[in-house]
Amino acid sequence: MRLFVGLGNPGAKYAANRHTIGFMAVDRIAEEQGCAPWRAKFQGRISEGVLGGEKVVLLKPETFMNLSGQSVGEAMRFYKLTPADVTALHDEIDLAPAKLRLKVGGGHAGHNGLRSIHGHIGADYQRVRLGVGHPGNKDAVPGYVLHDFAKADEGWLDDMLRGISDGAEALAVGDGAKFSNTVALRVAPPRSSTTPRPAAAEPAPLAAPEDTRSAFQKLADRFR
């Protein structure tokens, strides 16, 4: 059994924030993979499904980001899971937009949601780091992640979320390489090698050589 935790802040005010991309990811999995309707439990919302033959519980903590670990710890104890059964999907400012990386263990790098989870279940869980880009200035980070995605982000964001849903079965059965590759193919599909090349342009006709004969010579040549 697996517990997929999407990190974010509850409420319409935060629904389109970069910081809430984890919610968006598990919402897309639930919608496209035929999971059960969301219901209230564990200080959050949960949905359940079977992905790749593995039972998966999707969790969106509603404690706000800084207290996410309370909800995660409660769910983990109820289902008698270990940290190795938990995968947290969260925004990552140290990755470019549309980039994704998997990581197990390690520090929380100042992410308040991860910091809270660390405090409740330890560090030995898997993270799906979803790149949202960096504002370029450390002091601007809080405002940046609590701001909605820009209009220009809609294309790659939808591709990434679709890729996460497509690869959810692989993630559930522990095939991280296949999951990552599935997302990458959605975000940047390979160009087809069968696309016909444009036809070569017809060569321009050669210009006729300049006639340097005198008018008298031209007249004489007509009667030869």
Q: Does residue 100 sit within a domain?
A: yes
For the segment 78-127, what is each residue's pLDDT rounded down to a tens digit?
999 999 999 999 999 999 999 999 999 999 988 999 999 999 999 999 99
Q: Which two tokens stand for residue 120?
A: 């409740």
Residue 151 maps to which CATH number? 3.40.50.1470
Find the DSSP H helices in the chain.
21-32, 68-78, 112-121, 141-145, 154-166, 168-172, 176-187, 215-222
The pLDDT of residue 46 is above 80: yes
For the segment 176-202, what is each residue's pLDDT rounded down to a tens digit?
999 999 999 999 988 766 555 555 555
pLDDT at 195: 53
What CA–CA distance (Å, rounded) separates 119 from 151? 36
**Average pLDDT, integer, range 29-52:** 97
Q: Does residue 133 sit within a domain?
A: yes
**Cβ neighbours, 10 Å, residue 85:** 15
Q: Does residue 223 sit within a domain?
A: no
What CA–CA distance (Å, rounded) separates 161 from 119? 28
42 band by pLDDT with thresholds 50, 70 and 90: very high
Q: Does residue 42 sit within a domain?
A: yes
Q: Does residue 84 sit within a domain?
A: yes
Q: Does residue 206 sit within a domain?
A: no
Is 19 known to be catalytic?
yes
The pLDDT of residue 223 is above 80: no
Q: Catalytic: which of 19, 90, 111, 118?
A: 19
Q: Which domain holds residue 58?
A: 2-187
Q: Which two tokens stand for residue 61?
A: 């903590």
Among the listed residues 109, 100, 91, the one whose alpha carbon sits nearest the alpha carbon of residue 147: 91
pLDDT at 190: 81
Q: Does residue 209 sit within a domain?
A: no
pLDDT at 191: 74
pLDDT at 212: 59
Residue 183 CB partners (closer than 8 Å, separation 6+): 100, 160, 163, 164, 166, 167
Point out which residues pair with 101 in neighbouring strands. Answer: 129
Q: Does residue 219 sit within a domain?
A: no
Please count the structural domains in the chain: 1
Residue 184 CB partners (closer than 8 Å, separation 6+): 100, 163
